[in-house]
Structure 1
Amino acid sequence: MNILSIGGSDPSSGAGIQSDIIAAQTLGVNCFSVITAITAQNSKKFSYAESVSSKAVEKQLDSILSDFDIKAITVGMVYDSKIIKTLHSRLKNVKIPIILDPVIRSTTRGILLKKNSISELKKFLIPICNTITPNVLEAEILTGVKIRNYEDLFIVSKILSEIGSKNIIVTGHSFKKNTISDFIFSNGQHQSLSGRIFKGQNHGSGCNFAFAIAYCLAQKMDIFDSARFAKQFTIDSIKQAKRLGHGVKITRPKRDKIKSELSSAISQFTDLKKIYSFIPECQTNFVYAKPNPKSTNDIVGIMGRIVKTGKSVTPVGILEYGGSKHVATAVLTIQKKFPEIRSALNIKYDDGIVRRFLQAGAKISSYDRSYEPKSSKEKENSSISWGINHAIKNSPTSPDIIYHMGDLGKEPMIIVFGTTPQNVIKRISSIL
């Protein structure tokens, strides 16, 4: 999956483009970049900023948007009116989520948006962004309303939505001792997410939050679920913050190797030629387990599915432990006999697909659901455990695929197994 980050260059890598690239690596997605300004800053102070020419921004945008399939865009530092108008001109007809983090001042007190450009930001940029993530100070500056309570948050959000943004998230308000919250407003609905305050300042949490929102919206999650994911992602990055210099700590998103490997494999899967023809009616999930999983909560899956969208496929939902039940249960079951098997993916059953696997030398097993006992059919997820156990009962080695021909109200299915997600992709690729 490809996300475009538009913003300033931070040589300390605490925020801006560099921070987004680090976040993307953590989430297992590709980050493309368009630089709007060059800054000189470190963990102690912000000493210089210079905008990139409008022509350079145009050329960067054109080079990325003309070549890559971008699923979401984040916009951070825009610095001046020329950059704002250039972005408006090039992005106003884009049909993907644009997330604006309207940075005005850095943690190290640097000016990231010239004061005389605020009106242009409101006129040209906010209306084309479907989500805006100001902190309390930024929301106050943009609306002229002092935020003292929840009613003020609602007023501020309503003003920003009337300017043109569909989703408003005001971050970092604190009306209760030791608690910091984010206020989400969308289509008249609102919600507040709270967490504990971390002592001391950090550099980069706002960028982490906005990029995580883009990651979720690119996968068609709703804004409230996106905000919950982004908040936890940001909390984890603050917990991992390091004092790399002599000033404030710099956030570092927490890297989960299992999620990263699976995310990379999902991107490869969605790019496979004609893979849309392999997606079943119930859609597809792709999972990867920790070593020796005890339950499906030890197995990462998509909180949703990989869905067919015409002649392409799209992952809908983020990766989470416990995100899959059915395919994860298949892995959990086969693990008991073959612990090296930690990943799996389901595709539609077709005689031709099974033949291709045979021709590719795959080890194949199957089971007949018509023989399943009633007690198993009536218990959730027991059908899968029964079927996998039945299929591997007499197998001396682990099968590469297990299939069944369906039953009353049950779609026929193939599950492709592997030691890793890359191993699963290799098996699928062998029959294309």
Structure 2
Amino acid sequence: MNILSIAGSDPSSGAGIQGDMKTFSAFGAYGTSVITAVTSQNTRKFFNVEPVAPFLVKSQIRSILEDFRVDAIKIGMVYDKQTVRAIHSELEKIKIPIILDPIFKSTTGGDLQTENAFSDFKKLLIPLSYAITPNIPEAEKITGLKIKSLNDMKNAAKKIQKIGAKNVIIKGGHFSLGSKVVDVLLDDEKFYIFSHDRLKFENHGGGCTFSASLCVNIARGKKLPEAIDAARLFTIESMKKATQIGRGLAITKHAKGDDIENQLSNAISKFCSIDFIYEHIPECQTNFVYSVPSPQSLNDILGLEGRIVRTGKHVTVAGHLKYEGSKHVASAVLEMARKFPAIRSALNLKYDKKTIKNAVSKGFQVSSYDRDTEPARAKVKEGSTISWGTKAAIKTRNTPPDIVFHTGDFGKEAMIIIFGKNPEDVLRKTLKITKSFHPST
């Protein structure tokens, strides 16, 4: 998964481009960057800022978008109106979700956007955003409203949405009273309220951490309320771990993401990037799963609550990752892991005799089962066929097969399932088996 951050450079590495890269890495995503300005600041004081030339901002954006498949974009610090216009001209026609994090002042006291850039920021960048993430002072500046209550936050969110943002998240951390921090999401026309205990210290980098982690979770296909909740919890844990590295504000220290989700999400992104893979997507589409060690039930197996679907000569992820999100491929992994605990990941592909022949020729172990011999009780119980078939395919084996397949039945599509120790192992096998169909790739 590739995420692009368009933001300023922070030499303390607490926020800005450097903070975003740390967040992306914590989620197992690959971060690319476009630097809009260079700041001179530390944990105690802001010194100077110098914008990057607009032509160079444009060139950086083009250089990334023409080479990388970018799954989501975060826009942070944009210092002057020339930078705003440069970003808008490059992004106004793209379909990639954009998370806009308004950044007007640094926690160390510096101005991070000129006053003459503000009207262009509202007119050109806010309408580009899938979601915008202002805090209270930023929302007040954008709307001209004073925000002193939850109802004020909702009214401000509506006003920002009318400017052009599709969705609005207003962070409530700057309210001076109360033991709880309340955040408000306006998702299309529906409000969601999130709250957590207020932390008793200020730190540097929390806002950037939230917007960057939200960007990753949106790229993973999560619905916006779920993406915000994941980003919020990650940010809270990261802020709790903040470390006083310098002599001033503590710097946010990033929490560790869910390694199961990070690995599977990365592998799915790579799978979708394979040029020819659309030819191997079955009619029922593809799922890709990864379990915790020693899974006891489908609750222990992460998969897509949806599918990887064929869209012309490409594939697209429809849905998001969730434990118990997959029934069929996850059932196969559950049975495999019970006998061979090292095998914890799998995906399904369209059945083709040539695929099986290629797998055998590459030295992979292949097993199968005949659905004609399936007991009636398994056929009538939803989800039982895959469990029964996988157990039948491995019953007499002393080593795990790389592939289990069946040739179908009345109303049931023939299928191949590729197994591995982890998602990268499954992806490696998939590429090796299918690449011989496409020797030039």
When the two structures are superposed, what TM-score results if normalisation uses the length of structure 1?
A: 0.92
Deviation beyond 6 Å, 4+ runs, structure 1:
none
d(CA) in 1 for partners of 2:237 and 2:324? 19
Q: Which runs of no fewer than 5 residues in structure 2 stay unpaired?
A: 436-441
Task: Give the match for residue 324 of structure 1.
Answer: 326
Q: Equivalent residue of 2:248, what SS?
A: coil
List per-residue Cα deviations over 1:379-418 (Å, max 9, x = no partner).
4433322221111111121111111233444332211011
Q: 1:228 Cα shift? A: 2.5
From 311, 314, 321, the counterpart of 2:313? 311
Using the TM superposition, name which of 114-123 and 158-167 deviates more: 114-123
Task: Give the match for residue 244 of structure 2.
Answer: 243
Q: 1:261 Cα shift? A: 2.8
From 426, 429, 432, the counterpart of 2:431? 429
Q: Equivalent residue of 2:50, what SS?
A: strand
d(CA) in 2 for partners of 1:53 and 1:83? 8
Q: Equivalent residue of 2:418, what SS?
A: strand
Letter in 2 for 1:314: T
List per-residue Cα deviations over 1:339-362 (Å, max 9, x = no partner).
121211111222222222222222
CA contact (8 A) 1:149 1:175 kept: no
d(CA) in 2 for partners of 1:220 and 1:264? 13
d(CA) in 2 for partners of 1:166 and 1:337? 49
Task: Give the match for residue 162 of structure 1.
Answer: 162
CA contact (8 A) 1:45 1:109 kept: yes
User: CA separation of 1:230/1:255 partners in 2, compared to 1, >3 Å: closer, same or farther?
Assistant: closer
User: CA separation of 1:6/1:284 partners in 2, compared to 1, >3 Å: closer, same or farther?
Assistant: same
Q: Count residues in correspondence.
A: 432
Structure 1 residue 21 corresponds to structure 2 residue 18: no
Task: Give the match for residue 146 of structure 2.
Answer: 146
Task: Give the match for residue 183 of structure 2.
Answer: 182
Q: Equivalent residue of 2:184, what SS?
A: strand
CA contact (8 A) 1:216 1:318 kept: no
Give the root-mean-square deviation of aligned CA atoms: 2.2
Task: Give the match for residue 367 of structure 1.
Answer: 369
Q: Equivalent residue of 1:301, what SS?
A: strand
Q: Which runs of no fewer than 5 residues in structure 1 stay unpaired?
A: none
From 293, 297, 310, the counterpart of 2:295? 293
Task: Give the match for residue 266 of structure 1.
Answer: 268
d(CA) in 2 for partners of 1:354 and 1:396? 21
List per-residue Cα deviations over 1:188-245 (Å, max 9, x = no partner).
2221122222221222222222223322333454433332332233233334433323
Task: Give the match for residue 345 of structure 1.
Answer: 347
Q: 1:318 Cα shift? A: 4.1
Q: 1:34 Cα shift? A: 0.7
Q: 1:307 Cα shift? A: 2.1
Structure 1 residue 384 corresponds to structure 2 residue 386: yes
Letter in 1 for 2:102: P
Alignment of structure 1 residues 92-171 onto 2, 5 Å: 92-171=92-171
Q: Equivalent residue of 1:172, what SS?
A: coil
From 398, 402, 419, the counterpart of 1:417? 419
Task: Give the match for residue 193 of structure 1.
Answer: 194
List per-residue Cα deviations over 1:71-101 (Å, max 9, x = no partner).
3211100012221122222222222222110
Q: 1:15 Cα shift? A: 0.9
CA contact (8 A) 2:221 2:321 kept: no
Letter in 2 for 1:10: D
User: CA separation of 1:410/1:248 partners in 2, compared to 1, >3 Å: closer, same or farther?
Assistant: farther
Task: Give the match for residue 59 of structure 1.
Answer: 59
Task: Give the match for residue 286 of structure 2.
Answer: 284
CA contact (8 A) 2:406 2:416 kept: yes
d(CA) in 2 for partners of 1:103 and 1:344? 42
List per-residue Cα deviations over 1:107-149 (Å, max 9, x = no partner).
2222212234222211222122232111111101111111122
User: CA separation of 1:320/1:110 partners in 2, compared to 1, >3 Å: closer, same or farther?
Assistant: farther
CA contact (8 A) 1:22 1:253 kept: no
d(CA) in 2 for partners of 1:323 and 1:212? 22
Structure 1 residue 213 corresponds to structure 2 residue 214: yes
Letter in 2 for 1:428: T
CA contact (8 A) 1:240 1:254 kept: no
User: CA separation of 1:408/1:184 partners in 2, compared to 1, >3 Å: closer, same or farther?
Assistant: farther
When the two structures are superposed, what TM-score results if normalisation uses the length of structure 2?
A: 0.91
d(CA) in 2 for partners of 1:149 and 1:427? 56
Q: Equivalent residue of 1:304, what SS?
A: strand
Q: Equivalent residue of 1:417, what SS?
A: strand
d(CA) in 2 for partners of 1:430 and 1:96? 30
d(CA) in 2 for partners of 1:212 and 1:407? 44
Q: Equivalent residue of 1:430, what SS?
A: helix
CA contact (8 A) 2:223 2:320 kept: no
d(CA) in 2 for partners of 1:10 and 1:39? 6
Q: 1:325 Cα shift? A: 3.0
